[in-house]
Amino acid sequence: MPSADLTLDPHFTVGRVNRRLFGSFVEHLGRCVYDGIYEPGHPSADPEGFRTDVMELVRELGVSAIRYPGGNFVSGFRWEDSVGPREERPARLDLAWHSTESNEVGLDEFAGWLEKVGSELMYAVNLGTRGVLEAVDVLEYANIRSGTALSDARIKNGRVDPHRIKMWCLGNEMDGPWQLGHRSAEDYGKIASQTAKAMRQLDPDLELVVCGSSNAQMPTFGSWEHTVLRHTYDDVDYISCHAYYEEHDGDAASFLAVATNMDHFIESVVATADTVRAELGRTKRIDISFDEWNVWYNTRYHSEQQITDIERWPTAPRLLEDAYSVIDAVVVGNLLISLLKHADRVTSASLAQLVNVIAPIMTEPGGPAWRQTTFFPFAITSRLAVGHALEVRLTCDTYETKAYGEVPLVDAVATHDPETGRTAIFLVNRSLDAPTTVTVDVGRLGAVELLETHTLADDDVYAANTLTDQERVGVSPNPSATVADGRLTVELPACSWTALSLG
């Protein structure tokens, strides 16, 4: 049986785990908002039309900041369509997703929903087809207390207190030719800098995210970050990364190793940001907002689901409704490990998306809401990864992949909370057929015992939770885990994700 050895020391920290690492994303896309979080006719709907069964799952998932309202959607969006009396709000064509946007839910309603679920709003402005003034306008509407045209309009619309939105994204995926108003790095860098400066004139304490590359395979990857940061370094706090992964041509071995690609992506963007820092002679560091990441069967979307018929602009169509399997959940757990390993520089991240659209939570109109397989690693990591991420030393066997060459069979990270003394260890076994025994030297943690163990695995790695079988896959305690004489041993089933809590 393959084996792995792990050593950890609570003094060797990577960085503090920022709660914003466990963020998510709600875009006006498909059934994420309409028939997802919002369904006025649903038996569980509250007086505002929001499904309370979905709200309960969102709270259980433990999501911090939620990015809104897009995504590709935002580059064709007029924010002012989405506020004010509902009956006066225009229905618009959403060119990005070839749908009709009713604007029934907008900034004020979404901010109210976030208060109910206990999450923070991270708002994206449109820098594709709009510019500096519209960005400042929505900031004035949202954050100024009163006494101006737009803040008074918000009060008239029933929202007396300002929304106090701290985190703002300066557009979305502006490097992508698919983006409405796509720009070159030079052009985008200039408008992002101007917009950031104007927004800071209104509120200097905002946290601003400039667009990085849409993925690490973009032909402009690297040079895009360099040029954009040369223009915006003094104006912003974060640069974004986006990455979606899927299994290609039945190559599950490579798919299970995609977190190595995320590691490389993060390290490359950090290197580029630090290069610009050196070039400009600055001391401030730019952090990463990994504000779209997930498994997404993107090729399926492009071949089967994309709507192109110009006679048909459906409202809330079923788009990007991937059903996630065990292997997808193992990959999601591994991507969370990658984010935690870089907690010193990745200080915000958003699982894309939250409900129905490539989401951990699914719903049926008038029917149930349920947890996808990917729900479990996210919810458990969000709850247990508290304090500091630790630098762990891992020795293990490797295997060969077509996409990423030789990769470790096991991946791991640990966190330690000095306040409670609790430690959490997160592990994946990437082997498709062999269990792996992991031995962890926990001697430097003092006398500890196991508090919780959770493993996600199944004989069928493609098993999923569906409308007709909503609880097919879940997590179970791992009875093999034991701690004795400063050593923890645990057996990881083939293709599995595990979390252990010690204290």
The nearest distance, CB 242 to ligand AHR, in angstroms, is: 6
Considering only the stretches 69-77, 142-150, 181-189, 261-269, report the one whose residues sit in contact with ligand AHR under the rule CB under 6 A: 69-77
Is there binding between residue 352 and ligand AHR (CB under 6 A)?
yes
Give rounded-to-5 percent helix, strand, coil for the chain.
30, 25, 45
Binding mask 199-218 for ligand AHR (x = CB under 6 A): ---------------x----
Rounded CA gap, 467 and 470, in Å? 6
Q: Looking at 27, 101, 173, 491, which residue is catalytic?
A: 173
The number of beta carbons lying within 10 Å of the beta carbon of residue 40 is: 13
Cβ proximity to ligand AHR: between 252 and 323 the closer is: 323
The nearest distance, CB 383 to ligand AHR, in angstroms, is: 25
Is there binding between residue 175 and ligand AHR (CB under 6 A)?
no
Is 247 annotated in the active site? no
Is there binding between residue 353 and ligand AHR (CB under 6 A)?
yes
The single-letter code of the amino acid at 84 is G
Is there binding between residue 322 and ligand AHR (CB under 6 A)?
no
Rounded CA gap, 473 and 39, in Å? 27
Contacts of 414 (CB under 8 A, 6+ apart): 6, 8, 389, 390, 392, 423, 424, 425, 426
DSSP, res 140: H
Is there binding between residue 101 and ligand AHR (CB under 6 A)?
no
Binding mask 120-159 for ligand AHR (x = CB under 6 A): ----------------------------------------
Is there binding between residue 359 and ligand AHR (CB under 6 A)?
no
The number of beta carbons lying within 10 Å of the beta carbon of residue 176 is: 19
Rounded CA gap, 435 and 437, in Å? 7
Which residue in the set 173, 235, 237, 491 belongs to the binding site for ligand AHR (CB under 6 A)?
A: 173
The nearest distance, CB 313 to ligand AHR, in angstroms, is: 17
Burial state string for 265-292 with b = 16 or more CB within 10 A and e = fewer than 16:
bbebbbebbeebbeeeeeeeebbbbbbb
Considering only the stretches 65-73, 194-202, 260-268, 407-415, report the one whose residues sit in contact with ligand AHR under the rule CB under 6 A: 65-73
Q: Looking at 207, 225, 292, 491, which residue is catalytic?
A: 292
Angle at 420 between CA 417 and CA 421, to 5 degrees: 65
**How would you classify residue 236: left for phi > 0, otherwise alpha for psi between -120 and 50, otherwise beta?**
beta
Considering only the stretches 67-75, 100-108, 375-383, 434-442, report the one whose residues sit in contact with ligand AHR under the rule CB under 6 A: 67-75
State the helix-helix crossing angle for 258-280 and 326-341, rounded to 10 degrees: 30
The nearest distance, CB 27 to ligand AHR, in angstroms, is: 5
Cβ proximity to ligand AHR: between 35 and 173 the closer is: 173
The nearest distance, CB 462 to ligand AHR, in angstroms, is: 23
State the helix-helix crossing angle for 326-341 and 375-384, rounded to 10 degrees: 30
The nearest distance, CB 294 to ligand AHR, in angstroms, is: 8
The number of beta carbons lying within 10 Å of the beta carbon of residue 131 is: 16
The single-letter code of the amino acid at 102 is S
Q: How far apart are the first and last CA of the chain?
A: 29
Contact assessment for residue 115 and residue 335, using Cβ atoms and an 8 Å cutoff: no
The strand pairing partners of 399, in sequence order, are: 407
Rounded CA gap, 189 and 183, in Å? 9
Cβ proximity to ligand AHR: between 332 and 396 the closer is: 332
Cβ proximity to ligand AHR: between 2 and 176 the closer is: 176
Which residue in the set 24, 72, 151, 373 belongs to the binding site for ligand AHR (CB under 6 A)?
A: 72
Considering only the stretches 4-12, 68-76, 121-129, 488-496, report the one whose residues sit in contact with ligand AHR under the rule CB under 6 A: 68-76
Site size for ligand AHR (CB under 6 A):
10
Which residue in the set 18, 22, 26, 27 belongs to the binding site for ligand AHR (CB under 6 A)?
A: 27
Is there binding between residue 71 and ligand AHR (CB under 6 A)?
yes
- At 385, is the secondary structure helix, strand, or coil? coil
Considering only the stretches 2-10, 32-40, 70-78, 223-231, report the one whose residues sit in contact with ligand AHR under the rule CB under 6 A: 70-78
Cβ proximity to ligand AHR: between 224 and 233 the closer is: 224
Is 292 annotated in the active site? yes
Cβ proximity to ligand AHR: between 362 and 424 the closer is: 362
Rounded CA gap, 394 and 272, in Å? 27
Residue nearest to ligand AHR (CB): 71
DSSP, res 34: B
Span 291-320, contacts to ligand AHR by CB under 6 A:
292
Cβ proximity to ligand AHR: between 292 and 458 the closer is: 292
Cβ proximity to ligand AHR: between 293 and 313 the closer is: 293
Contact assessment for residue 293 and residue 242, using Cβ atoms and an 8 Å cutoff: yes
Is there binding between residue 172 and ligand AHR (CB under 6 A)?
yes
Angle at 348 between CA 344 and CA 351, to 5 degrees: 125
The number of beta carbons lying within 10 Å of the beta carbon of residue 452 is: 17
Contact assessment for residue 378 and residue 59, using Cβ atoms and an 8 Å cutoff: no
Which residues have a catalytic role annotated? 173, 292
Contact residues toward ligand AHR (CB under 6 A) are: 27, 70-72, 172-173, 214, 292, 352-353
